Amino acid sequence: MYRYLEQEIVSGRLEPGEKLDDVSLAKRFGVSKTPIREAFLQLAAIDFVQIRQRVGAVVS
Written in H, E and C, the secondary structure of the chain is: CHHHHHHHHHHCCCCCCCEECHHHHHHHHCCCHHHHHHHHHHHHHCCCEEEECCCEEEEC
Tell me how many domains the chain contains: 1
pLDDT of residue 19: 97
Range of the domain at 16: 2-59
Burial category of 13 from C-beta neighbours within 10 Å (exposed 0-12, middle 13-18, buried 19 and up): exposed
Condensed to tens digits (0 to 9), the pLDDT of residues 36-58 reads: 999 999 999 999 999 999 999 99
Burial class (CB in 10 A: 0-12, 13-18, 19+), 58: middle
- In one letter, which amino acid is 33? K
- CATH of residue 20: 1.10.10.10
20-38 per-position pLDDT tens digit? 999 999 999 999 999 999 9
